[in-house]
Structure 1
Amino acid sequence: MTSATKDELLAGAVRLRTEGRPEEARERLLTLTAEFPEDAEIAYQTAWAHDVLGLEAEAVPYYERALSAGKLGDEDRLGALIGLGSTYRVLGRYGQAVEVLRRGVAEFPADGALRTFLAMALYNTGEHHEAMELLLRVVATTSEDPSVRRYRTAVEHYASGLDETV
């Protein structure tokens, strides 16, 4: 099979998922991943197809394979980090979720979605203070609400000192 054919088949499977046909996409991706087990992009798309179908446990090894291969572009790597971290959290594997999402935030510090998913995982591990601080900073820096924007400086200031009083 040529690289162009592989790329076309992968694009077709992704198209099926985005068109709301995830089971067909999953079937095609499983065939592709069997033929190209070391391909990070195929592994990532296979994980995503499993997640869309609510097959989180089955998605994990594909996310792990995609990330360990180290050959994903930035956008796909970001998606795989969010996907794996979120999937670990949904499966109750909170410590692993925090670890993956912290790694993601270290690599993509400006990404609000990563920080939000990390906050959820931190909540699950009992790290409520850090979770709240992260969420307040995301709200302060990304909100389009005029009243939040008006108090952005105060929200950012208080985010790290929620327990402080005067």
Structure 2
Amino acid sequence: MDFEQQVSDAWASADRENPAPTIEFFEHLLDTGPTDAARLFELASAYDWAAREADAIPLYERAIAAGLDANRDRQARIQYGSSLRNVGRHTDAVAVLEEAHRRYPDSVAVDCFLTLALAGADRPAAAAITAFRAAIHDGDSDLDEYRQALTRYTADLA
């Protein structure tokens, strides 16, 4: 079975009530294969998913440094920033998520997590701007008639 199928199957069977088997699977996957960015990312994700952010953070750092494909890179930066925020490293979380926004400016998920990090860093105006930006670009048809006005108002907040 190929790597991507193994990963998909492991996440499909993951049980939040009993995270140990999922973590063990991804630890084994890393230990028995090449130490590549994707394997590091998947193990970091497993730790993060199990609320073991402190264990996930260095793995996210290694995975990002090793070079991930665009999809995993975006996910890693979001999850890394979120983990930093969850352990109280708000300034670091903002820096990671602002870089993610520069790389993936159309990602609503990046903006949502950046909003949380900015709020945690006691930057409410920046959080509001980021939240509005995410909403404006989300494509919700209910916003269509207000999109231009909200875009101007958001620019005024900055």
- Provide TM-score, normalisation by structure 2: 0.88
Shift of 1:13: 4.2
* One-letter code aligned to 2:63: A
Matched, 1:123 2:94: no
User: Unpaired runs of 5+ in structure 1?
Assistant: none
The one of 56, 79, 90 equivalent to 1:59 is 56
Matched, 1:111 2:135: no
User: Percent of counterpart pairs with the same letter?
Assistant: 29
The one of 135, 150, 153 equivalent to 2:145 is 150
After superposition, the CA RMSD in angstroms is: 2.0
Question: Structure 1, residues 90-148: CA drift from partner, whole Å, max 9, x if none?
Answer: 111101101111111111111111011111111111221111111112112215252x3
The one of 93, 96, 106 equivalent to 2:92 is 96
Aligned to 2:134: 138
Aligned to 2:37: 40
Aligned length in residues: 155
Whichever of the two has the greater Rg, that structure is 1
| Greater mean deviation of Cα atoms: 72-81 or 50-59 | 50-59
Q: 1:136 to 1:13 in 2, by over 3 A?
A: closer
The one of 10, 15, 22 equivalent to 2:9 is 15
* Aligned counterparts of 1:28 and 1:96: Cα–Cα separation in 2: 30
* Aligned counterparts of 2:8 and 2:42: Cα–Cα separation in 1: 7
Q: Is the 8 A contact 1:13 1:24 kept in 2?
A: no
* One-letter code aligned to 2:88: G
- Provide TM-score, normalisation by structure 1: 0.84
Q: 1:135 to 1:104 in 2, by over 3 A?
A: same
